Amino acid sequence: MFIFTDMKIKKLYFALVFIFISFLNLHSKPYVIIVSFDGFRWDYLNRNITPNLNEILNDGVHALSLRPSFPSKTFPNHISILTGMYPDNHGIISNNIKNIFNGKRYRIGNNKSVTEPEWYQGEFFWETAERNGIKTASYFWPGSEISDTLRSPNKVKPYEHNFPFINRIDTVVSWLKLPIQERPQFITLYFHETDSKGHDFGTESDEINEAIALVDSLAGYLFKQIQELPIKDSVNILFVSDHGMQNIDKNKIVNVEELISQYKYDLVDSGPLMQIFPNSENDKENIYAELKRNEKHFKAYLKNELPDYYHFGKHPLIAPIVLIADYEAYLVNNRISKRNYDLSAATHGYAKDHINMHGIFIANGPAFNKGMKTGTIWNIDIYPLLCELFKITPRSNIDGKIDRIRFILNNE
């Protein structure tokens, strides 16, 4: 026989209230999937080969373009999207970084360096979310494989370049079918196809059009799978890209090493951005003077003299001398030159204000306005947008501003 005292009744009452509130919290939070189509240029949507994305954007929010941060490269911009910070502040200043203090290198494609927490100085949205009790998952995203489990998503898929695209989507959908206590509410998903084909064949090729059509079909497949879920009315999807793409003018290729061969230095990177680490202060002065005398198809800057509009130059790992190629130009070293300038057909990394460096932004779901077209959105504003969606407080040190992007949200 059970005897219920007042104390037991109170404890039972509070336990039931706690369970009820927890249940409401689980059901009241939205679901957000952010999908990146790497290198999907802002105007690829205008080629009449993207029926699925066009249907999705017509029912949601479509920005004219998504402005990247400088340099308009893959890792820096994926991380700007999910930290709300310029590369100068989140630390991934390029796809290839040299730490002059300890000699370590960060390179995309290097499975060890991309997992090392020391490189990532911003807080990813999945970190902010998990601190607020929101479960997260990543099916590929630069930075998601960070080895510090306190900083990684709850579920992480290590990057496999050739892993079938449909299987990626099927896994994401399976996550959304998990029991509610295990189900992630924020998910990232990544596809490389438009970037790869843009680099290899150029922005006007049949191959890039095939890649555009392919990722459009993936968007349609994902959207259809979401519509078949019981939680479909709670799911928001964002389609973004990290940067655009521009064909290279082979008449604007500059071998930088030919200009400064008499000095001692270390070069980092090639393409639209190159950094030079002189061996001495004397070498620095001479190299800079020589580059300024031969400044054709590029601009040479001392680190502390980079124009403010780049938001680039304060981070301690940026080289003393920075070269920025003119639009369509390409900076190379002797190694690339010896391969007879065996370059990609197209590239990215140029200043963020060149429109062909811009990507796409499409948002669809209950949190967003319907049938809204707007101007250019900045990628650093997506992190505070995500915080607003989940009603959580963003980090105070970000560069993004919710006031620039809040208007796309459905306030009903």
Q: State pLDDT tens for residues 176-191.
A: 999 999 999 999 999 9
Peptide linkage before 76 cis (omega within 30 of 0): no
| One domain, residues 327 and 363 | no
Partners of 138 in the beta sheet? Answer: 156, 188
Residue 1 in any domain: the answer is no
Mode of pairing for the β-strands spanning 273-278 and 321-325: antiparallel
pLDDT tens by residue, 294-345 = 999 999 999 999 999 999 999 999 999 999 999 999 999 988 765 555 678 9
382 close to 85: Cβ distance less than 8 angstroms:
no
Q: For 237-390, where are the alpha helices, taking DSSP H only?
A: 256-259, 281-293, 334-338, 382-390
Question: What is the predicted pLDDT for the residue at 335?
Answer: 80
**How far, in Å, CA of 205 to CA of 197, rounded?**
9
Token pair in block for residue 81: 């999207």
Domain that holds residue 159: 28-247+352-408
Question: What is the predicted pLDDT for the residue at 12?
Answer: 56
Q: Which of residues 323, 343, 363 is at a domain's end?
A: 343
Picking from 389, 363, 388, 361, the residue whose alpha carbon sits closest to that of residue 375 is 361
Question: What is the predicted pLDDT for the residue at 19?
Answer: 47
Q: Over the chain, what is the mean pLDDT?
A: 93
| CA-to-CA separations, 245 to 38, 184, 262, 304, 338, in angstroms, rounded | 10, 33, 34, 28, 25
Residue 10 in any domain: the answer is no
Q: Which of residues 343, 363, 388 is at a domain's end?
A: 343
Residue 73 in any domain: the answer is yes
Q: Which of residues 287, 319, 343 is at a domain's end?
A: 343
CATH, residue 257: 3.30.1360.180
Residue 34 in any domain: the answer is yes
84 close to 383: Cβ distance less than 8 angstroms:
yes
pLDDT tens by residue, 233-268 = 999 999 999 999 999 999 999 999 999 999 999 999
| One domain, residues 174 and 303 | no
* Confidence (pTM): 0.92
Question: What is the predicted pLDDT for the residue at 22?
Answer: 46
* Across 22-26, 38-42, 105-109, 249-253, least confident range: 22-26
| One domain, residues 144 and 50 | yes
**How far, in Å, CA of 319 to CA of 99, rounded?**
10
Question: What is the predicted pLDDT for the residue at 412?
Answer: 73
| CA-to-CA separations, 298 to 10, 175, 363, in angstroms, rounded | 74, 47, 37
Residue 92 in any domain: the answer is yes
Q: How confident is the model at residue 109 (pLDDT cuts 50, 70, 90)?
A: confident
Q: Is 171 a catalytic residue?
A: no
Token pair in block for residue 233: 């009315």
Among residues 74, 83, 188, 194, the one annotated as catalytic is: 74
**Structural domain count, the chain:** 2
> What percentage of residues in the chain have a pLDDT greater than 70?
92
